[in-house]
């Protein structure tokens, strides 16, 4: 018999707040979310996605037009250019903010007036599955809550996590080199607040259940505005205990489960996504037992795939892929190879050697990239991420430098991503093949700005209409590949996947639809040399007809071979399924 919602919630809350009256707290949360104590759960292991799902990641103001709010311009661009290509749109923080391009939120319940308003958000949500950031770990030092913290009044007085400089904080895992504790003058004296990311981003105190109630109300507001995908930003750092690493603590996992329970009972089609830029084994824990995140970002994919393409060697990518467990039904991977942030280096821990990491960093540096650092518990500064536009990251090889295969290498990277188990997510600047924006870095003084350009819509439309522009070539080819992918049952995010062993210059894997009526052999030449693929090595079934979905080439002789040009990919499919 299914456990009633309230009883399940109380059991979860007691693991986080053992000293509190969790029966009363559960009633507060259910009332805040508008739920009944005995409300029926959604179907277990339900996939709220299929092979047609493709995500676009963008800032609200990446595409701009004179005399029009950016959210309206974004909606126009989506409708004109991407309505047949993407099913979901992740609009990065569109709230009033004080720093970090939106991730230092001043008001969770307002839309930044310079971007538009809630009606603009709702219009986009009617046409696409809309993902929004729940910036849950920290809030702006210029927010009303933090001003109230300084004044020692509610709401806000006890909403932020305080530390003591005398505490042993040596084990705390840091993503930055800035001081962890920031002194703040309040109306009752100096206090030290915990700042995982910057002094303008003050960590919230979830040990105070009022903060959990506040975020439950925020989530309900988003759901009522049409947002059904929740990206839990920097959630790994949520719970703090001095003397511990203050990352991945069990209370953090339990809080994610609590939020998922509330969200999916309110809206069964809603999805929780955890953003945890950490080593691969740690990242996988956020699936829980199919009761935590519905989706996790596949953070090891970007550095491993880029390393593969600039070295012409897929050994590490193949080893990693073989180690990845199939996601349970009701969960899946969110695959991406570029984002508004840099290429994370922590997800390569245990996957690349220190020498290989340094070679990748040196190669990206030669292509115009920059490196951001983090402070380790022993006080050393270690590379945290490489800041570079994906198109420029793939302009050559580690051995020979820049070459003429940039566009082909760039398309190959996305062809791999589109075919892998999981849901593909395109950062808008990768879809548009935007280059490094060094001028924006000079203007903002922030390395991440190198991959956060802004386009004027008129200029962008001209670039995309010019058949000789690399922007147009990349955009048209990626849209073509997306259109193919969205029709293949074997590319369902939860369809079977097995790794193929075809040497170091050919990266391959096999996908099979859940009904077992379609197989696709995905083979990618990740080198700058021509490669031969013996068809006998991939065991095509002789009674089926086979065709490359990308080129349209049919396979007539299964004892023969196919030739792949540098960075060429093939998706060999049987013809039982209409393409």
Binding residue ranges for substrate: 100, 138, 231-233, 340-341, 448
Which long-range CB contacts under 8 A does 471-474 form with residues at least 24 apart? 471/432, 471/433, 471/434, 473/407, 473/433, 474/391, 474/407, 474/410, 474/411, 474/431, 474/432, 474/433
What span, in angstroms and rounded, lies between the C-alpha atoms of 522 and 569? 7
Binding residues: 100, 138, 231-233, 340-341, 448
CB 396 within 8 A of CB 406: yes
What span, in angstroms and rounded, lies between the C-alpha atoms of 116 and 126? 16
Cα 35 from chain centre: 29
Where do runs of H (alpha helix) occur along 420-485? 428-431, 438-444, 457-465, 470-485
Helix 209-224 with 250-266: angle, nearest 10 deg: 30
* Exposure string for 425-460, b = 16+ CB within 10 A, e = fewer: bbbbbbbbbbbbbeebbeeeebbbbbbbbebebeeb
Where do runs of H (alpha helix) occur along 52-188? 70-77, 118-127, 144-151
- Residues ≥6 apart with Cβ < 8 Å to 129: 53, 87, 88, 89, 228, 229
CB 452 within 8 A of CB 103: no
Spot the catalytic one: 53, 61, 120, 233. Answer: 233
Please tell me the number of Cα atoms within 13 Å of 128 on its side-chain side. 26
Q: Residue 402: what are its φ and ψ, rounded to 5°?
A: -65, 145
Question: Residue 317's closest CA among 495, 143, 503?
Answer: 503
According to DSSP, the β-strands at 401-402 and 396-397 are: antiparallel
Structure tokens at 72: 């309206």
What span, in angstroms and rounded, lies between the C-alpha atoms of 217 and 209? 13
CB 367 within 8 A of CB 392: yes
According to DSSP, the β-strands at 423-427 and 332-335 are: parallel
CB 99 within 8 A of CB 201: yes
Annotated catalytic, 437? no
Structure tokens at 443: 């203007």
- Residues ≥6 apart with Cβ < 8 Å to 235: 136, 137, 252, 256, 274, 275, 276, 286
Question: Residue 342's closest CA among 299, 373, 385, 392?
Answer: 385
CB 417 within 8 A of CB 424: yes
Question: Judging by beta carbons within 10 Å of its beta carbon (0-12, 13-18, 19+), is residue 113 exposed, middle or buried?
Answer: exposed
According to DSSP, the β-strands at 63-64 and 455-456 are: parallel
CB 573 within 8 A of CB 488: yes
What span, in angstroms and rounded, lies between the C-alpha atoms of 46 and 359? 43
Positions annotated as catalytic residues are: 233
């Amino acid at each position: 018999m299914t456990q009633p919602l309230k009883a399940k919630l109380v059991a979860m809350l007691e693991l986080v707040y053992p000293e509190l009256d969790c029966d009363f707290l559960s009633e507060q949360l259910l009332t805040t979310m508008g739920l009944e104590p005995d409300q029926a759960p959604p179907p277990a292991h339900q996939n709220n996605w299929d092979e047609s799902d493709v995500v676009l990641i963008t800032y609200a103001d990446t595409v701009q037009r004179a005399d029009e709010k950016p959210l309206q311009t974004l909606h126009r661009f989506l409708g004109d250019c991407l309505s047949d290509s993407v099913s979901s749109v992740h609009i990065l923080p569109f709230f009033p903010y004080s720093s970090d391009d939106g991730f230092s939120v001043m008001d969770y319940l307002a839309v930044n007036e310079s971007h538009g308003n809630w009606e603009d958000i709702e219009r986009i949500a009617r046409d696409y599955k809309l993902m929004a950031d729940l910036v849950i770990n920290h809030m702006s030092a210029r927010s009303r809550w933090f001003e109230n913290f300084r004044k020692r009044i509610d709401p806000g007085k006890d909403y932020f996590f305080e530390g003591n400089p005398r505490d042993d904080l040596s084990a705390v895992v840091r993503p930055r080199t800035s001081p962890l504790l920031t002194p703040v003058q309040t109306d009752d004296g100096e206090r030290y607040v915990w700042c995982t990311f910057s002094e303008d981003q003050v960590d919230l105190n979830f040990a105070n259940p009022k903060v959990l109630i506040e975020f439950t109300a925020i989530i309900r507001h988003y759901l009522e505005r049409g947002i059904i995908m929740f990206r839990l930003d920097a959630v790994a750092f949520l719970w703090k205990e001095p003397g511990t690493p203050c990352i991945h603590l069990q209370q953090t996992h339990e809080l994610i489960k609590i939020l998922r329970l509330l969200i999916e009972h309110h809206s069964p089609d809603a999805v929780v996504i955890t953003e945890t830029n950490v080593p691969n084994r740690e990242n996988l824990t956020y699936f829980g037992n199919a009761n935590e995140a519905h989706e996790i970002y596949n953070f090891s994919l970007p550095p491993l795939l880029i390393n593969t393409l600039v070295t012409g060697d897929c050994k590490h990518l193949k080893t990693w892929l073989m180690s990845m467990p199939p996601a349970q039904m009701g969960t899946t991977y969110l695959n991406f190879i570029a984002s508004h942030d840099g290429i994370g280096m922590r997800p390569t821990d245990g996957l690349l050697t220190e020498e290989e990491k340094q070679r990748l960093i040196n190669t990206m540096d030669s292509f115009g990239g920059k490196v951001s650092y983090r402070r380790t518990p022993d006080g050393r500064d270690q590379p945290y991420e490489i800041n570079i536009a994906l198109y420029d990251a793939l302009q050559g090889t580690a051995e020979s430098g820049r070459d003429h295969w940039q566009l082909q290498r760039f398309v190959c990277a996305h062809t791999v991503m589109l075919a892998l188990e999981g849901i593909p997510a395109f950062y808008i600047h990768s879809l548009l093949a935007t280059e490094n924006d060094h001028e924006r870095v000079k203007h903002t003084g922030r390395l991440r700005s190198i991959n956060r350009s802004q386009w004027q819509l008129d200029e962008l439309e001209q670039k995309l209409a010019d058949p000789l522009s690399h922007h147009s070539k990349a955009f048209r080819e990626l849209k073509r590949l997306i259109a193919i992918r969205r029709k293949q049952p074997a590319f369902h995010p939860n369809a079977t996947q097995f790794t193929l062993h075809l040497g170091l210059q050919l990266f391959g894997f096999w996908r099979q639809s859940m009904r077992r009526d379609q197989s696709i052999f995905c083979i990618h030449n990740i080198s700058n040399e021509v490669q031969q693929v013996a068809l006998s090595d991939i065991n095509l079934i002789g009674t089926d007809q086979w065709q490359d979905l990308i080129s349209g080439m049919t396979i007539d002789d299964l004892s023969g071979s196919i030739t792949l040009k540098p960075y060429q990919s093939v998706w060999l499919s049987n013809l039982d399924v209409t393409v």
